[in-house]
Amino acid sequence: MITYDKNNKIFNLTNNEMSYIFCILKNGKLGNLYYGDAIGENLKIDQMIHFEKTSLTVNYFKNDDKFSMQNIKQEFPEYGRGDYREPAIMLTRENGSHLTDLFYKDHTIYKGKKSLEGLPSTRGEKICETLVVELYDDIIDLTVKLYYTIYKNINAITRHVEVMNGEKESVKINRLLSASIDFFDSDYQWLQFSGDWSRERHLIEKKLSEGITSVGSIKGTSSAEHNPFIILKREKTDEFKGEAYGFSFIYSGNFLAQGEVDSRKTLRMMMGINPFQFNWKLDKKESFVSPEVVLTYSNKGLNNLSHQLHDLYNKDLVQKKWMTQKRPVLINNWEATYFDFDENRILSIAKEAQQVGIDLFVLDDGWFGARNDDTKGLGDWIVNKEKLPNGIQGLSKKINDLGMKFGLWFEPEMVNEASNLFKEHPDYIISDPQRNSSVGRNQLVLDFSRKEVVDEIYRMMENTLKNSTVEYIKWDMNRFISEPFGKDLGLEHKGEFFHRYILGLYSLLEKINENFPHIMIESCASGGNRFDPGLLYYAPQAWTSDNTDAVSRLFIQYGTSYGYPISSIGSHVSEVPNHQVGRLTPLKTRTDVALFGTFGYELDIGKLSNEEKSQIEEDIKFFKGNQELIQKGRFYRLISPFKTNNETAWICVSNNKEEALVGFYRIRNAASNPLKKIILTGLNPEYNYSVNGKEYSGRILMKFGILLTDFYGENKVTGDYYSKLFVVKKI
């Protein structure tokens, strides 16, 4: 998959469908030649790079007025050598200079892939090959290694960078993007996934033009506002056809995704740790490893682009165990009780849940310390015996005796001022001791850049976990970082704070995973405020949004599916009127939306009518009967709520194409609606299928589609918030 053409000095990373090609330029730096459809071998540098004399540029060589770094498509751009676009790397040397001159020194190619120490990364268990290109600056004695891994059967390349300092001087890394690519032109639409609390990952599309287009975070988490995932697509590319590029960052902290279009309309795309407030000191002989960026490519539209990420994350990022294991159908007590519960109340909810077939009970916030509202108790991970006299040990055992597994909520990174932890260790919080600390949801953030803080939290968590039968953790995080200041870090190291915080978080997640391998973690951050591939490495599913309203979820889940497999999308049925938006939707619609994710409930089933209870029992049977298809099948987006603002459709197709499940949703009904059909995809045109009992050929389903009117039934007045499932089975 990876070759080096010695004569032409060209690196060629090609799998069956795509090529990523770069070269060593005549000044010893790397030039990007091509990224797109597979184009084979026998390439020449001057066929693919403009070398031309232009007026305003400065030239690298005195005797060559056609060689300017500004005009050349680069692979790892540096600062200050005549390229005025933003660089991938910038350092400060002891003498204050920001200049580097990194030249190709060597490279190695090997099968498979190594993991990144202390950081989440794809595991390299699928067939892949790695190229490491070594660059060297002899004035500083600095080595930079660029890592590329290409997958054989997934159109994905992962990239990261390692900076290794030599023996001459210390340096400060001011800026280090994990991937940078110069595209030949900038004729792309930029797709970002942005929002807010309870409105996460809404698709926003804009055309690139001169200047910088970027999204990022400086909040200490990847955030609900912007996701570390970007798509570039050609104007005519849609879900089913056309070229698209994905950029995804396996990281949970401050990030930057940026596209810079210059005056010649070329595009420089880059992604990595946000350079804002990042300043990492490397003493002599020290090194720094950047987190991993995933590049994905499709020439068959956006669904296909998403499939590359779904495959990569399902098969090579999440923990091996959870790749195949069926996820439990769960019930969570948060919306049913909030903080107001005791053991009896919890057991009564659990009993009802068990009777309808739910596998796992999750006890949410409020079980510990003095936590009767959100002003107290965070940080005291010791059971509140007034509420739960038999402890977590006793409660988990009772839940197990009902025939259910038990799960527990933690918010390990936080503390309330009203807590024992804060009383004993007021210095554990992130703060500037000379200033007031801002609060968010009445809480403060613990300084996870300090090992002793992480260790203390682990100690408390371990105590609870080892003395009970917890098999699932909901790992929450409910505020951003403010007053960022690494109190413990030396003056020279203050700029390392945000990254060290994330490293501390990852170390705790790693330790819990290692020491409690039977526990599955579901990540959460006020819903989807930290839904990123970094967390996915430790926690195979995430609470997608605090918004459980079925209509809102159509947008949130549709948007999330662009970058994440639906096996990671936590989706629950909750009660109506909905707690976040007050909407009344039918149980059927709420169920039909939640089915396309890691299915569960967030209500007290005991409060429902017998008819609703029986319906839920049927729904859970239906989900379990289709779980393999939903968890491991191919998910395609069919009709976008972002386009129609009224209708949505999606389909999950089994890998052998013998079964599929289609969801259709209509938000508002109208009289005399336009005629409607849904064209399916992903099936086998040669097969015959039954769709809710009616016979079709695969070809008809995929070319003509199914007429919706056929399925409305006797009473065609469907009302608002309508949903319909189509069960497709090979005959």
Given the residues 83, 359, 380, 476, the one annotated as active site:
476
Nearest-approach distance from CB 579 to ligand GLA, in angstroms = 11
Beta strands (DSSP E) in 401-452 are 405-410, 414-416, 443-445
284: left (phi over 0), alpha (psi -120 to 50) or beta: beta
Give the residue nearest to ligand GLA (CB): 365
| 546 in contact with ligand GLA (CB under 6 A) | yes
For residue 92, give Cα distances in angstroms to 48, 89, 169, 500, 631.
33, 10, 11, 20, 48
Query: What kind and span of H or E run contains 458?
Result: helix 451-466
Measured from the CB atom, is 301 or 527 closer to ligand GLA? 527
Measured from the CB atom, is 136 or 472 closer to ligand GLA? 472
Using CB under 6 A, which of 104, 251, 409, 636 touches ligand GLA?
409
Nearest-approach distance from CB 639 to ligand GLA, in angstroms = 29
Q: How is residue 577 written in tokens? A: 């009127």
Residue whose tokens read 């500037």: 432
| Cα 343 from chain centre | 36
* Positive/negative CA dihedral, 416, 419, 421, 427: positive
Using CB under 6 A, which of 380, 456, 476, 532 touches ligand GLA?
476
Query: What kind and span of H or E run contains 515?
Result: helix 497-515
Nearest-approach distance from CB 457 to ligand GLA, in angstroms = 17
* Positive/negative CA dihedral, 296, 298, 301, 307: negative
Nearest-approach distance from CB 527 to ligand GLA, in angstroms = 5
| 365 in contact with ligand GLA (CB under 6 A) | yes
| 413 in contact with ligand GLA (CB under 6 A) | no
Nearest-approach distance from CB 276 to ligand GLA, in angstroms = 27
Nearest-approach distance from CB 365 to ligand GLA, in angstroms = 3
Using CB under 6 A, which of 193, 297, 313, 334 touches ligand GLA?
334
Nearest-approach distance from CB 373 to ligand GLA, in angstroms = 10
Given the residues 182, 380, 546, 604, the one annotated as active site:
546
CA distance 461 to 475: 11
N- to C-terminal Cα separation, the chain: 40
Using CB under 6 A, which of 252, 478, 548, 571 touches ligand GLA?
478
- Produce one character per residue of 274-287: b if its CB has 16 or more CB atoms within 10 Å, e if not: bbebbbbbbeeeee
Interface characters, 110-149, with ligand GLA (x: CB under 6 A): ----------------------------------------
Helix (H) and strand (E) counts in the chain: 15, 38
Number of shown-chain residues binding ligand GLA (CB under 6 A): 11
Interface characters, 503-542, with ligand GLA (x: CB under 6 A): ---------------------x-xx---------------
Burial class (CB in 10 A: 0-12, 13-18, 19+), 343: middle
CA distance 230 to 215: 9
Measured from the CB atom, is 297 or 409 closer to ligand GLA? 409
| 341 in contact with ligand GLA (CB under 6 A) | no
Q: Is 710 a catalytic residue?
A: no
Measured from the CB atom, is 74 or 526 closer to ligand GLA? 526
Q: Is 604 a catalytic residue?
A: no
Measured from the CB atom, is 314 or 384 closer to ligand GLA? 384
CA distance 327 to 266: 45
CA distance 681 to 122: 29
Contacts with ligand GLA by CB under 6 A lie at: 334, 364-365, 409, 476, 478, 524, 526-527, 543, 546
The residues assigned a catalytic role are 476, 546
